[in-house]
Chain A
């Protein structure tokens, strides 16, 4: 079985700033894959490359065996059309650090939006599923509220429900709890834990070492655009091999 995500020598730079300097990694199906590292290490950028919000400059990136953003014919690479990129993104859910809920729509409308607009689902069916998803993240009673009337933790849970509404095969979490008050982090992590137990493939950029240790199946420590160390979370977090990993963990643990 092919890996869900496979990166081969992925490079990314913005002008002169070289953010990713050759990333090689593999994420298996059903795995909770944690990316940790200091800010500016390139972990969020790498995550955004996976659904082609950022274009990579070199290397190859595969999701479910298919090249991200390009099509290979012989030894030539063709850029995908916008519509093809959009189609591929349907299967990849993304949760942002700043939630990015649509502020002009209620919670339930946020969750319904993509199924109705992108998949052409009927409104009634989409609403029913959206309500079930909100129920699942514990927010059925907030369905009619606008994002500005919800706490950060509630907004993030709606955002997870919104991503799940497209029935993705892969979920990307970009520091999902970094913008939350400490007492609200637990609710969001609980929802993510539930997802992991159901076998969702998840790539999680996080500073929550407890979550990584408890739920993660694999962990990568990135610094300065390269993978420094990888392995099982418990091993890497309790017995780091590299100096850089040790000094980072000593600061955050």
Chain B
């Protein structure tokens, strides 16, 4: 561009300003409504903050116990059980989804019954049953593979993992099934026409495309799982985040403060995983979009620029 200009020289360049159309200089529309609603919302927010500031809460206790070793141990257990249960749910969910979509009436009905049962009963009940399984099966006997007393096999960890993971599998299988069905049938046909087998077509062609549809609800499920794992404390005596914080609350008398502390940690966890999810979605969007969506940082910049109607052309990443 600049090289061209230099080559042609200033004599050939169009005379400045003459041919340029005059830019419109108009008074912009005033968005009075936006200002009024902003003031109302801020006022309500102020009242809420004021109420909590005046409440009988010992806020210092929260940072004091934020990195308490018991709290951190509970936090670690919450993350551990959530990740493992989610992994179990994901793997089993894919298997169940493929079973449900199979032409074999036995496998598809078995998958249907599984989903019907595990989705249809409260996860809290399932956790209680797993934890109390020793009452009906005193011994666990898997032939040559494994044999033990149920009470020593079904630790709080195992009960929480099975309760949360098997329940999650039922939900995940429906999400995966929706994802698989969202992929155009022409994709399967094209893969088959190239001589690819059913399994390879699923792994190489269908599932990678289904991921675009599967990831967002799975992120939702995972965030749900982080919070649902707190049920494992009550049902299966699993010492996760909520249990460790409320234990401190009971001994120190700072009950509500410790609940706030737990809430802070849950918020931090869900925020971190939301960011991870965002980048995962970006990864699976490749090929589906001509250009990748903005990163959160770029979005914030674009939103700030857009406030008050002063949109500046948007962020061209």
| Cβ < 8 Å to B, chain A residues 63-103 | 82-83, 86-90, 92-94, 96, 98, 100-103
Name the distance in Å between B94's Cβ and chain A's nearest Cβ. Answer: 18
A12 at the A/B interface (Cβ < 8 Å)?
no
CB-nearest residue of chain A relative to B189?
Answer: A53
Task: Decide: B290 and A114 in contact? CB cutoff 8 A.
Answer: no
Known contacts A103-B288, A148-B290: does B200 contact A117 (CB below 8 Å)?
A: yes
Q: Among B146-154, B203-211, B230-238, which stretch is in contact with chain A?
A: B203-211
| Chain A residue total in the interface (Cβ 8 A) | 32
Write the A105-127 contact mask toward B (1 if CB under 8 angstroms, else 0): 11000000110011000000000
A218 at the A/B interface (Cβ < 8 Å)?
no
Find chain A residues with CB under 8 A from B192 CB: 53, 86, 89
CA gap between A246 and B259 in the complex, in Å: 83
CA gap between A142 and B289 in the complex, in Å: 17
Task: Decide: A102 and B196 in contact? CB cutoff 8 A.
Answer: no
CB-nearest residue of chain B relative to A101?
Answer: B190
Find chain B residues with CB under 8 A from A62 CB: none
Name the distance in Å between A46's Cβ and chain B's nearest Cβ. Answer: 15
CA gap between A87 and B192 in the complex, in Å: 10
A113 in complex: contacting residue of B184, B198, B204, CB < 8 Å: B204
Find chain A residues with CB under 8 A from B14 CB: none
| Cβ < 8 Å to A, chain B residues 151-205 | 184, 186-187, 189-198, 200, 204-205
Task: Decide: A117 and B204 in contact? CB cutoff 8 A.
Answer: yes
CB-nearest residue of chain A relative to B287?
Answer: A146
A51 at the A/B interface (Cβ < 8 Å)?
yes
Task: Decide: B286 and A146 in contact? CB cutoff 8 A.
Answer: yes
CB-nearest residue of chain A relative to B197?
Answer: A86
CA gap between A88 and B287 in the complex, in Å: 30
Task: Decide: B197 and A162 in contact? CB cutoff 8 A.
Answer: no
CA gap between A92 and B205 in the complex, in Å: 19
CA gap between A98 and B186 in the complex, in Å: 8
Task: Decide: A90 and B186 in contact? CB cutoff 8 A.
Answer: no
Write the B100-132 contact mask toward A (1 if CB under 8 angstroms, else 0): 000000000000000000000000000000000
Find chain A residues with CB under 8 A from B195 CB: 86-90, 114, 118, 166
CA gap between A53 and B201 in the complex, in Å: 14
A57 at the A/B interface (Cβ < 8 Å)?
no
A241 at the A/B interface (Cβ < 8 Å)?
no
B196 in complex: contacting residue of A86, A100, A148, CB < 8 Å: A86
Task: Decide: A82 and B198 in contact? CB cutoff 8 A.
Answer: yes
Could you name 12 residue pairs across A and B whose Cβ atoms are closer than 8 Å?
A93-B193, A94-B190, A96-B186, A102-B190, A103-B288, A104-B209, A104-B287, A104-B288, A106-B287, A118-B195, A118-B196, A163-B194
A-side residues, CB < 8 A to B, are 51, 53, 82-83, 86-90, 92-94, 96, 98, 100-106, 113-114, 117-118, 146-149, 162-163, 166
B-side residues, CB < 8 A to A, are 184, 186-187, 189-198, 200, 204-205, 208-209, 284, 286-290
Q: 16 additional contacts, CB 8 Å, given A90-B194, A118-B196?
A: A53-B193, A86-B197, A88-B195, A89-B192, A89-B195, A96-B186, A100-B187, A100-B190, A102-B190, A102-B209, A103-B288, A114-B194, A114-B196, A118-B195, A166-B194, A166-B195
